[in-house]
Amino acid sequence: MPPNARKIPPEVRLERETANDDIYERIYGAIVEHRLHPGTKLGEDRLANIFGVSRARVREVLARLAHEQIVDLYPQRGAFVAKPSPEQAIDVFEARRLIEPALLRRLIHTLTSEKVARLRQHQELELDARRRDDKRAVVRLSGEFHQLVGVLAGNAALARSMRELSTLTCLIIILYDAPTASSCRADEHSEIIDAIAKRDTARAERLMREHLDHIESSLKLDSSTEEVDLEAVFGS
């Protein structure tokens, strides 16, 4: 802890951390819901004005997002929503094909009825979003399904990696304009959950790899940039 941090009353420090978490979640949510596109400039002054906080507070949040590779920081230029290259996109899917089968093995090894219920409850939320044609919710919930598998598997380090990879996948899907992969297919998630519930590890792993292959194969590896109005994204 920095020396000057001890001078800040605990209640003030907690309030600041809570505010930072809220700003982080709003920016993170805007990215995974495709409201902020790769390459969008995240101006400190504009964000500070939008959220009613200091530039220093915004800078802390942007540094946290940069640490998770969701935001790129450039000296003298500022912060931008990360814009993965085609090579990085390939690397992300390669990493997911290695990590997610391992998560499935661990999850099935430690499976309980409560964990299966959590997966089915989440799937129902996704299906409901699809019925309502709430595209933003579908995108967010689809990514969160993979994150939930990581959390339920019980390995905190792998779960953090899964969150980062899932978010990078959202950016890749936006950037490379993959209309058929704008979100995961609901039936594929359902099949994976059924295999997990039956403790069929081999089938669950195969379905997950096919699922990731399906998303990656629909990508078009050429980028497009669209200007985004930050005030409109975060406005009430």
Question: Which among 227, 236, 225, 230 has a CA at the least distance from the CA of 44?
Answer: 230
What CATH homologous superfamily does 86-217 map to? GntR ligand-binding domain-like (1.20.120.530)
Residue located via tokens 């959202």:
170
Confidence at residue 180, expressed as pLDDT on a 0 to 100 scale: 47
pLDDT of residue 207: 97
- Predicted structure pTM score: 0.78
Tokens of 205: 């792993």
Confidence of residue 187 (pLDDT cuts 50, 70, 90): confident
Residues 16-40 have pLDDT tens digits of 556 688 999 999 989 988 889 899 9
Radius of gyration in angstroms for the set of CA atoms belonging to the chain, rounded to a whole number: 19
Task: Reply yes or no on domain 3-82+224-234 having CATH 3.10.310.30.
Answer: no
Whether 181 has a pLDDT exceeding 80, the answer reads no
Render pLDDT for 136-171 as a digit per residue (tens, 0 to 9). Answer: 888 889 889 999 999 999 999 999 999 999 999 988
Task: Judge contact between 79 and 41, C-beta under 8 A.
Answer: yes
Residues in a beta bridge with 71: 81
Q: Hey, where are the domains in the chain?
A: 3-82+224-234, 86-217
